[in-house]
Amino acid sequence: MDFFSAAGGHVWSLLSYLVPFLFVLGLVVFVHEMGHYLVGRWCGVGVDAFALGFGPKLFGWHDKRGTEWKLCAIPLGGYVKFKGDLNGASVPDNELIDSFSEADRKDAFQFKPVWQRAAIVAAGPIANFVLALVIFSATFMFIGRYVIDPVVDQVSPGSPAAVAGIQSGDRIISIDGEAIDSFEAIRRGISTANNGPVVIEVARQGRVHAVKAEPQVVEQKTSLGIVRSRVLGISSSSLPEHHRLMKYGFVDSLELSGGQIVGLIKQSVNYLGGLVRGREKADQLSGPIRIAQVSGKVAESGIVSLLSLAALLSISIGFINLMPIPLLDGGHLMFYAFEAAFGRPLNRRAQEMLFRFGLTLVLALMAFSVVNDIVQITKG
């Protein structure tokens, strides 16, 4: 009896992580691929397949246009295979393309104008950003945002804030010229600022003072492992008058959501820049194992929290796909930029070599992220 109880407990634990993970990743991937699909259809391109997941097909069907819609066994992505593609990564099937008749070429992806191909490729990441915008905006409109005023309560002795002369009771109004309207915005402003000192404007006794502080990098243990962040060494006010739940109108919600998305993209750019310069460590890169773990924990807080996680993941996937790596959307856009600039596509041999390089790099990054997940979870 104990054995079956333990086995049942392990199964339930696995499902509690797996189901939220599949929901979050499935939503993000579906929206991404639907972006490609819809713009491809709008441009008159034939679609051979729309797949969620990779590997063996679990089930599927063909629609009246001949597109195969299918769910595959490995739920770590998806693809849209357009007419003329060799695979779901939009690698051209050169042998098939060379055999196309004039009629076949009319709806083949490779024979569309370069601006249409670029629009189709860019539509996936753009759809990811739109999904995040919708989720954030709906949250701000219908649920609201818990806001803590950017008023300093405590200043840690010897901290960057203390060295800069920031005092208890100061209201922070801007960081490097960016307006600050909440305590959370302070954290965001520090994390998105360039490495080095930041200029902080504080309101104190009716006057505005400008100080310069150099945030300190600290390590914090989170559900995603050890995360390094820049801090000033201040805490928020605990007074009730500085805490409130705010709901926003449609326009304000869009503006707030857009700012949040831009801020998260800036953080990603700064992190990658720090990684290249050796100022950041690669152990903050998360793979499917830690994302599944976080999904399970976030799901305990309810569907709103899970959708917020989906929005964050959607931004990350949109951003990563725009990186100029062959095989990713950004790599294809790089090829199309070359074609637009020089009036001809990059030769087939060069494209094939770059696609192989891109595949190797993507597989290496995936393997690294999985190993990194295991190491971080073991440490935790």
Residues catalogued as catalytic:
33
The answer to whether the beta carbons of residues 161 and 213 sit under 8 Å apart is yes
Task: Rounding to the nearest 10 degrees, give the CA dihedral for residues 264, 25, 128, 270.
Answer: 20
Q: What is the CA radius of gyration of the chain?
A: 24
326 Cβ partners below 8 Å, 6+ apart? 334, 335, 351, 354, 355, 357, 358, 359
d(CA 116, CA 354): 22
Distance CA 142, CA 245 (A): 11
Beta bridge partners of 147: 244
Which residues, at least 6 apart from 11, have a Cβ–Cβ distance to it below 8 Å?
none
Please give the helix or strand (H or E) that residue 67 lies within, else none: none
* Distance, CA of 55 to CA of 39 (rounded, Å): 25
